[in-house]
Amino acid sequence: MNKKVLVAMSGGLDSSVTAMLLKEQGYDIIGVTFVSWLAKNENIDDSGFIKNAKYLTGKLNIPHYVLDLREDFKKTVIKNFTDNYLLGLTPNPCVYCNPIIKWGSLLEKADELNCEYLATGHYAQIREENNRFILSKAVDVKKDQSYFLWRLKQEQLKRTMFPLGKYKKDVIRDLAKKYGFEYLSKQKESQEICFIPDDDYRSFLKNNIKNIDKKVGEGNFISTDGKILGKHKGHPFYTIGQRKGLKIAVGHPLYVVDINAENNTICLGTKQDLLKKEVFVNDINLIKYDVLPENIELTTKIRYRNKGTLSKLSKVKDKVKIIFNDNVSAITPGQSAVFYEQDDVVGGGIILKD
């Protein structure tokens, strides 16, 4: 077996401990840090995460490469992100980035460096069963990231290692201390989208969609029976389930229940109006099975922090129809629906508008 592994290193706790564990297990490891986005006027060499990764790889005495993927990232992930919002959808950029940028570009680098495997600091697990590579939840369910990885193909999973999948986060912090990197164990976790560090996607859209105010502009808030309730700032600035910032008073709480990009209208309704029992998804990727078993009952998660709901799935042409056993709130077009059989990811798809 080729024991050469390319380790994606961000300079943070998880990817650093990934490298330490693999080195201790006897793998011949090479570190790679990819740059997808930098703040304006920030230089790659001055970037904090690059410096951290260089410091760590130096301490571990392993080679380190930096890949500048900003142009590819802009043409794929950023374009998909802005295009989706203009279509009235709410995209998940991590889901889109993983197979194209992270696994796409990094596996190319792995080939160039004669590495058989790519290792990342994701909290998930992979096993081989029935000639398929199956993605499943991490031992630490609170940190599990399998939801974001459903678009990975068999050939990508085959070459992937997730060393952290069998550990709890507290153990990873303890391991960083054990290996002599106490400062890493105290590092705060990053929750934001990598290219929106302040978590303000609305400002990002304004700064990255030329003339967005002219392209979209103000539109009408309408009720579920079509009455005009007031004006909104433009449909890309709202998401399904949103309650705050609507500035519409009708005597009871209102939520965004539908976004019509074509008419630039946003429908507001009650919490009850957010409930649905079925949805269609497309852009399907199956992991556990090569064909979706007929009328299979699985647990479907409609967002990352969603605990999941039992549902029946069936193939309808190039789509999958999901009928939930119980009502689900705020199903959001553009987001991912990921199907689980116990802890295994069966597959996923992108939620469609009605």
Residues designated as active site: 97, 194
Element (H, E) at 136: strand 132-137
Edge-first strand listing for the sheet containing 255-260: 228-232, 219-223, 265-269, 255-260
Query: Which residue type, as a one-letter code, is found at position 351?
Result: I
The angle formed by the CA atoms of residues 176, 157 and 307, to the nearest 5 degrees, is 70
Nearest C-alpha neighbor of 140 from the set 177, 160, 119, 165? 165
Distance separating alpha carbons of residues 163 and 120, to the nearest angstrom: 8
Q: Cβ neighbours of residue 1 under 8 Å, at least 6 residues apart?
A: 116
User: Given strand 160-161, what is the order of strands in its sheet?
Assistant: 64-68, 28-35, 4-8, 117-119, 160-161
Tokens 């299979």, residue located: 296
